[in-house]
Structure 1
Amino acid sequence: MTTLWDTTGSEVVKALSAERRAAGALAFGLALTLVVVVDEKHVSEAEGAATLAASAHPCRLLIVVRRQIESPHPRLDAEVSIGGRLGPGEAVVMRMSGRLALHAESVVLPLLAPDAPVVTWWHDEPPTRIAYDPLGVFADRRVTDVTAAPDPLAALSQRAKDFAPGDTDLSWTRLTPWRTLLAAAFDTVSDRPGSAVITSGRANPSAQLFAGWLQNKLDIPVSVEEVGTRPDITKVTVSFGGSELAIFRTDSRTATISRSGYPDRVLPLPGRGVGELLAEELRRLDDDEVFGEALGTWSGLAHLADRSPHREHIWHDPMDRSETATSTAAPTGGAAQAAAATAAGSTAAGSTPAGSTAPGGPSSSAVRAKRPKPGPATSSTSGSETAGSTAAAERPKAGGA
């Protein structure tokens, strides 16, 4: 493991190349790059979840810790390892302070595994608009978790407004066991359903998406009944005229399927941690069309899947209370294939750390690399010494925002 203090982006790239050479046989083909965005206070939790997900999917793990963005002194500290505490793969933890934290892409882009898709996961509250964060703009898949927001349902509504193919949310991933059980129960049902009720705690985005999915697939009215203080889904009931089918939690690990005229069945329905949820999302790297349909039905916004998968980065300074944002007209949507040599080169000795700006004003960032949209994850041999040779990340001069 190599630890770098008050360093530059180019030094991080060199350190990763050196670690790969030292690892020898441990350096293997990478299926994807996983970019994790997290606040300092949740780093340990995010590292644990990302390590679990990365253990199931060979990837280069890039953890971006943004802290003290109000500081006038940009600083980059990094930890580079292969086969260390963050799992068997390649991992880089970058702590960015000051204005550098707002331009993290200038450090991250040169570290992307070439010819591999990019998945960006926001561990904490996601940005209001994904286009505000270039780490989301150049990603092929974008994973959020609205349960981290103060108002999860408002955040889910915003995700619908801002949706683009390739987006998904862990509140949807949490539904997979419930949807699997309900779909299996319908295998022996010949009657047409008339309505459904989902019982859950208050302000549960998963319950709302469950209702959207059922309404979209069955074309029936679905209501969400909020009871209790726990946010979990506890029961789903589907009515068929004079009979009904119900699935309800028996305890934290099992559920009971009850159907009129049939004996009850107890089946496993275990809870899952964030790492397991993230690992599930990494199994497929194409668009989650079913999520888009469920989100669109719940929100009342039609044809979400028909939206363009490409986003343009919009400069947004969280320190600017005027709430103004400027588009940098950066056509993206596929992940950046590799990093910008100019971004890495700008961090040479004697210069400001990569991606930072003078305290006098922010700079806009634009991700200009574009490549075809990937299908299922495929392994590709990666070398950080070649990263940064084929794509470009540009930023206008400071003060242009």
Structure 2
Amino acid sequence: MLRSCALTLVVYVEDEAAGREVNDLISEVMRENPCRAIVVTAERDAAPAGLSARISARCTFPAAGEKEICCEQVMITARGEAIAGLDHVVIPLMVPGLPVYLWWRAGRFSPPPSLRPILRAATRVLVDSATFPEPQVDLQNFSGHVRELAGEVVFTDLNWGRLTPWRELVAQCFDSVETRPYLDRLTEVQIEYEDLSNGARVQRGQSLLLAGWLASRLGWEPARESVEGSRIGQPFLLRAGGRSIRIECRPRRCQTEFAGTCVSVALKSGGDSPAEFSLARGSGVNTATTRMEISGRPPIERVVRLEPLEEVRLVNEEIKFAGRDRVYEEALAMVAGMTAPGA
């Protein structure tokens, strides 16, 4: 048996059921990233107030013939007023000299005051905006936290990681010398997400982040005379020099057996030679079709594979990095600007 620890992983949840759910996920994280896991269950409205803790060992066999690897897991439950002292309990349990990752797995990001010292002690804080109950409002509020704690806390978003294949496909549309000029002529972006499934909320947040990414990378700015972008389905108006760009993030009803996986992106360029670049998820969860239509030329279409990114894989990938993701921060700030009242 080999005891192994490369980092401290603090997981924050807000009810007992979420604590049980995360236990299975932690086992999978430990296979790739041996760690001391500290699962904090903070039941804010529970009574009577109190604090309890227990420790256990989690052991795995990485591969046939290799030694059994065991990691420590500490389970802490704080109820009511006891939450105020969480930092005094959690910080001493962090392994000295090793990176600390805080995984916020509690929906809307609204940390209690006692979590602030833990946030500042973390190498990186992982959130998942897919769990935000009101993506438009919650992303704007989260952007405020990121801005407020800049220089002290490094944030990352698992939902941003889920968008990586889509961002790569969009970028590939403009990789060539022939298509790159169309970026400076974009006038309309349409992002559609499925509206009648458990994945609809996830995709709403993704559509906003994708829009924010495009706008921030291309130097677009929210137009002051924009239509009411705070309402779901209403377009956002942006400007780049003297050019206006319209972005729509809209729900779409889809007839598919793969609930929550219907999404499409279309980018339209104006000028003397108008063009449209589009991506649409296929009937299965693992494929997408890209299409390029340039005036006066036959359309070009191809089918590409989309590799699904499960939660544990996203966490393991984020643990590999310690630095800031400035591209994400700028995309998030753009979402906040686009959805701000009066924008």
Q: Do they fold alike, i.e. is TM over 0.5?
A: yes
Distance 2:114 2:73 in 1: 25
Report the CA distance between 1:256 and its aligned residue: 0.9
- The aligned amino acid for 1:70 is A
Q: Comparing both structures, which one devotes a greater share of its residues to strand?
A: 2
Q: Deviations over 1:139-188 (max 9, x none)?
A: 22112223323322211111011213412222222211111222233223
Q: Displacement of 1:67 after TM fit?
A: 3.5
Tell me the equivalent position of 1:348: none
Using the alignment, how far apart are the partners of 1:104 and 1:184 within structure 2?
46
Residue 125 of structure 2 corresponds to 142
Pick aligned residue for 1:239 from 268, 274, 283: 268
Aligned-partner Cα distance in 2 for 1:290–1:132: 29
Matched, 1:52 2:21: no
Structure 1 residue 224 corresponds to structure 2 residue 249? yes
CA contact (8 A) 1:128 1:158 kept: no
| Corresponding residue number in structure 2 for 1:383 | none
TM-score, normalised to structure 2, is 0.72
Equivalent AA in structure 1 for residue 46 of structure 2: E
Match of 1:258 among 270, 279, 291: 291
CA distance in 1, matches of 2:92, 2:309: 34
SS in 1 for 2:156: strand
- TM-aligned CA distance change 1:43 to 1:52, over 3 Å: same
- 1:187 equivalenced with 2:175 (yes/no): yes
> In 1, Cα distance between the equivalents of 2:335 and 2:133?
20
The residue number in structure 2 matching 1:346 is none
Higher RCO (C-alpha 8 Å, min separation 6): 1
**What are the Cα deviations for residues 38-85 of structure 1, in whole angstroms up to 9, with x where unaligned?**
121122322233332332223221111223753235231313214269
Residue deviations 1:109-152 (CA, integer Å, cap 9, x gap): 12111112211111122442575623323222112223323322
Aligned equivalent of 2:90: 108
Larger deviation, residues 175-184 vs 247-256: 175-184
The answer for the alignment partner of 1:369 in structure 2 is: none
* Cα distance change, pair 249–78 in 1 and its aligned pair in 2 (3 A): same
Q: Is the 8 A contact 2:41 2:76 kept in 1?
A: yes
Q: How does 1:337-348 map to 2 (within 5 A)?
A: none
The within-5 A match list for 1:63-78 is 63-67=39-43, 70-78=46-54
| Pick aligned residue for 2:191 from 198, 202, 211 | 198
Structure 1 pair 286–155 and aligned structure 2 pair: CA distance change class (3 A): same
* Map 1:220-369 → 2, pairs under 5 A: 221=245, 222-228=247-253, 232=261, 234-241=263-270, 242-250=274-282, 251-260=284-293, 261-300=298-337
Q: How far does residue 234 in structure 1 lie from its aligned partner after superposition? A: 0.5
Task: Give the letter aligned to residue 113 of structure 1.
Answer: V
Q: Does the C-alpha gap of structure 1 residues 90 and 201 become closer, same or farther in structure 2, counting only changes over 3 Å?
A: same
Which of 118, 121, 127 is the aligned partner of 2:103? 121
Q: Equivalents in 1 of 2:136, 2:47: separation in Å?
A: 33
| Seq. identity, % | 27
Q: CA–CA distance in 2 between the matches of 1:88 and 1:49? A: 16
CA pair 233-205 structure 1, distance change in 2 beyond 3 A: farther
Per the alignment, in what secondary structure is the counterpart of residue 299 of structure 1? helix
Question: Who is 1:33 aligned against?
Answer: 8
Q: Residue deviations 1:217-261, cap 9 Å, x none?
A: 123533322223865561111223322111110021111111123
- Distance, in Å, in 2 between the alignment partners of 1:50 and 1:126 is 21
What CA RMSD, in Å, does the superposition of the two structures yield over aligned residues? 2.7
The aligned amino acid for 1:279 is: N
Displacement over 6 Å in runs of 4+: none
Q: 2:37 aligns to what SS in structure 1? A: strand
Contact between 1:57 and 1:279, CA under 8 Å: does it hold in 2?
A: yes
2:164 matches 1:176: yes
SS at match of 2:74: strand
| 8 Å Cα contact 2:85-2:114 kept in structure 1 | no
> After the TM superposition, which of the residue ranges 229-238 and 165-174 deviates more from structure 2?
229-238
Structure 2: 5+ residue runs without aligned partners? 62-68, 196-200, 221-244, 339-343
Q: 1:201 to 1:136 in 2, by over 3 A?
A: farther
The verdict on how the C-alpha distance between 1:131 and 1:180 changes in structure 2, with shifts beyond 3 A counting, is farther
Alignment check: 8 A CA contact 1:73 1:97 kept: yes
SS at match of 1:95: strand
CA distance in 2, matches of 1:237, 1:290: 21
